[in-house]
Structure 1
Amino acid sequence: MPFFSIHFVMIFGSLCLAWGLRYGWQNSGDVTQPVSWQMRWQKALVSFVLPPLLVMMTAIAVLCMGSEGQMIGLQAGRLSYAIALMFLIYSIFRSGQLAWIGWQSLQKLQNLVVDCKALNPINEPLKLLNMPMLFAAQIGFWRSHLFVSQGLLDTLDADHLEAVLLHERAHAHYRDTFWFFWLGCLRQVMPWLPNTQALWEELLLLRELRADRWAAQYADGLLLAESLLAMVSNNMQLTPTFAAAFGATNPSDRLEVRVNFLLADPEPLPQFSWRSLFWIGFSLLPLAVLPLHY
């Protein structure tokens, strides 16, 4: 059983490439520029998704090849095959663990829900939480639910409440809880890659800025900024991969960026980019070499 097998070459090569792609990422700077905001989305998303996905696709390709045979003159290896199998099992376990933590958080909130048909300015179904703090968040998976605290309804006036609920509707519109669950899985599977935490915080900030800008189409930016300032001091900590909350802005610099962004001239919303999809598609290259294995 040779150690220097084709499987080992593929796994080692994908790890080196993933490390290099992440290591080369740098924050794109000021989000108040329309072009840089769009580019910042694309760059952060590709830099976050492509490296771990490339390693996972390589492990799947190794698993499909099996522990026997050869490719380009190199034999397959059982050791590297076992490593790929263990990595995929670990990935499934970590993703399941993250789903379990999110489900537990959802059940804890369900226990605080009161049986009350609350009215809201945008006529959207919500789950009312019996708590005095100011809280509003979309929580769930593909079809998230809007959770709102009684303290929020009692404290904010109709205009500021509408601004908060519009922001949460934006999260539902983009299905942020669904997509960020899977992004969170990639984060948990390979947290040791360079810039993992920085990219994660970048994507969370860009997610909130996108929701802010979507809400600003229907509400005044000043109202949104005032509502944000009121909500942040009462922020309730939840699993960010299972929830999207208006006040989920802890560091002061992120709060300042969001407020300045809301008060600035309206910017176009980031659009779907085929270029980003093209770059992420490179993670499928390991599967393309399967016909070469025999």
Structure 2
Amino acid sequence: MHTGFLLLTLGLAWLIRARATGAGTDWRDRWHAALQSFVLPPLLLIMTAIATLCMGTQGQMIGIPVGWIGYSVAIAFLGWAALSLVWFAVQAGRTLRQLPIQESVTVYGRLGYVVELPTLFAAQIGLWTSRLVVSRHLLDTLSPEQTEAVLHHEDAHAHYRDPFWFFWLGWIRHLTHWLPQTEALWQELLLLRELRADQWAAQQVDPLVLAEALLAVVSAPAIALPDYGAAFGAIAPSQLLEERVNALLSSPPSGSCALSAQSWLWLLWALLPLALTGLHS
């Protein structure tokens, strides 16, 4: 029965991803739809594996005996998930340590770090409590107004704790890269993250100045950085860059990407496998 339980959940996870579609132009709808389609299938798989582990290899489920095969698959999947999390964290830490970060300084009234890099670079580095990191080349090249616009953009990433949340989303991407539309949904979430930060900054500075700074930064050589690092020029493909610029130069988008408590109700579906353990006897 464990094997059938796991296969049923796998089919449901595959179906949710395969049926994921765009949610129009409304920010709230796009953000919620992308997040739900990206996160719910992996959570269902993880919770089903945990539920299988809790039920063990003895007894029955709705009258059907359970056994070792599904139980072993659940252990293997959870072990793979744990090992991939460790590998992902180690790789991310190794990449961040390669940045020549020195002592902290005050950057336009913000505590941050200036790195000696021959490119225009600004990012939030860290997890729950992130650090502002900018290159000296950016400070020397952009005008004060453009630099201030870039820093307001990075302030938004710190406010929403994007590095922390996108670390976990990045792990989910790595763990379930074999599910349909994983990469498409990931790119959508990255784009919405940057659009949200752009909108935040545009409320503090001239949107045209922010757009000019964006074009300058993305035209410079890129620095390899984990996607959760929330770099200012993170979205490089031309069509995504065009969407960011158009959003800045047009009227502010309606709605907010902030998630209300009601928008998390779909997470209850991820707990359904745990509730089904009550059928085990």
TM-score norm. by structure 1 comes to 0.92
Tell me the equivalent position of 2:101: 113
* 1:131 aligns to 2:126 (yes or no): no
Structure 1, residues 101-128: CA drift from partner, whole Å, max 9, x if none?
111112111xx124473x433x111111
The CA distance in 2 between the partners of 1:275 and 1:54, in whole Å, is: 19
**Most deviating of 267-276 and 68-77:** 267-276
- Structure 1: distance between partners of 2:101 and 2:257: 35
5+ long unaligned stretches in structure 1: 1-5
Q: Distance in 2 between the 1:99 and 1:88 partners?
A: 17
2:260 to 263, 268, 273: 273
Please say if residues 104 and 111 of structure 2, whose CA atoms lie closer than 8 Å, have aligned partners that are also in contact.
Answer: no
Show CA shifts across 1:47-93 (max 9, x none).
Answer: 00001110110000000111111111011110110000000000011
Moved more, 276-285 or 175-184: 276-285
Deviations, residues 172-196 of structure 1 (Å, cap 9, x unaligned): 0000010011111111111111100
Give 2:101's aligned amino acid.
Answer: V
Please list, as runs of the form range in 1=range in 2, the aligned pairs for 1:119-198 lying within 5 A after superposition.
119-121=106-108, 123-198=109-184
Kindly indicate whether residue 84 of structure 2 is the aligned counterpart of residue 94 of structure 1: yes
Secondary structure of 2:98's match? helix
Look up the SS of the partner of 1:246 in the other structure: coil
- 1:3 matched residue in structure 2: none
| Cα contact 2:16–2:41 (8 A) shared by 1 | yes
1:10 is aligned, of 5, 26, 44, to: 5
Give matches, 1:78-89, under 5 Å: 78-89=68-79
Distance 1:284 1:114 in 2: 45
Aligned residues with identical type, % of pairs: 50
Gapped runs of 5+ residues in structure 2?
none
Judged with a 3 Å threshold, the aligned counterparts in structure 2 of structure 1 residues 91 and 224 are, in CA distance, closer, same or farther, namely same
The partner residue of 1:245 within 206, 211, 231 is: 231
- Cα distance in 1 between the residues matched to 2:104 and 2:82: 39
Cα distance between partner residues in 2 of 1:63 and 1:116: 47
Q: Which runs of 4+ in 1 moved over 4 A?
A: none
Q: Is the Cα contact below 8 Å between 2:214 and 2:233 reproduced in 1?
A: yes
Task: Tell me the TM-score normalized by structure 2.
Answer: 0.96
Residues 122 and 231, structure 2, Cα contact 8 Å, conserved in 1: yes
CA distance in 2 between partners of 1:206 and 1:73 (Å): 47
- 1:275: Cα distance to partner? 4.1
Q: Show CA shifts across 1:228-257 (max 9, x none).
A: 00000123221113x001111211000000
Alignment-mate amino acid for residue 107 of structure 1: R
1:221 aligns with 2:216: no
**Structure 2 residue identity aligned to 1:265:** S
The yes-or-no answer on 1:233 pairing with 2:219 is yes
Aligned length: 279
